[in-house]
Amino acid sequence: MKTKAIIATVLLTTGIGFGAVSTPVNAATWHKGMPKILQGKWKTKTWKPYKQFPNKGRAYLKISDYWFGYQPALPPVDPMAVQRIRYRRSGNIYHVIGRETNNAPKGGILQTFTIKVYNRQKLYFRFNQSRTPDINHVYYKY
């Protein structure tokens, strides 16, 4: 009887010891591509980008699994295409990096974005290097 108790104690001790040595999960890893919840066609509500002009417009995003394109509401802002996308998730916020290749040197220009997902039909898209608020809006899936 004593030998069974000793064996059980040894097995439990080694099991707990191995459990304490396990490596923690790294939540801040960068994943390739875009998550399914962000993929699709998105648009803003109609808005007036320039206060001095009466023109109204709507901005568009098309997000695929490894690239996305941005079409601004009104000119003179150029459309943007970003490729080689990677993302990191923190709750309902996605930090996205990619390479813009329009009129860029070889290898593209590194761009960073922050996307906050409200639900499957609504998200907030923020271009981190933008000096104008043209791209920073709430987008709706269509």
- Classify domain 31-141 at the CATH topology level: Lipocalin (2.40.128)
What is the model's pTM? 0.74
Domain definitions of the chain by residue range: 31-141
Dist CA 122 CA 132 (whole Å): 22
Phi-psi region of 40 (alpha: psi -120 to 50; beta: other; left: phi over 0): left
Task: Give dist(CA 98, CA 12) in Å, integer.
Answer: 48
> How would you write the pLDDT of the chain (142 residues) with one tens digit per residue?
666 666 766 665 665 655 555 555 555 689 999 999 999 999 999 888 777 778 888 989 999 999 999 888 877 777 889 999 999 999 999 999 999 988 778 888 999 999 999 999 999 999 998 766 677 899 999 9
pLDDT at 17: 53
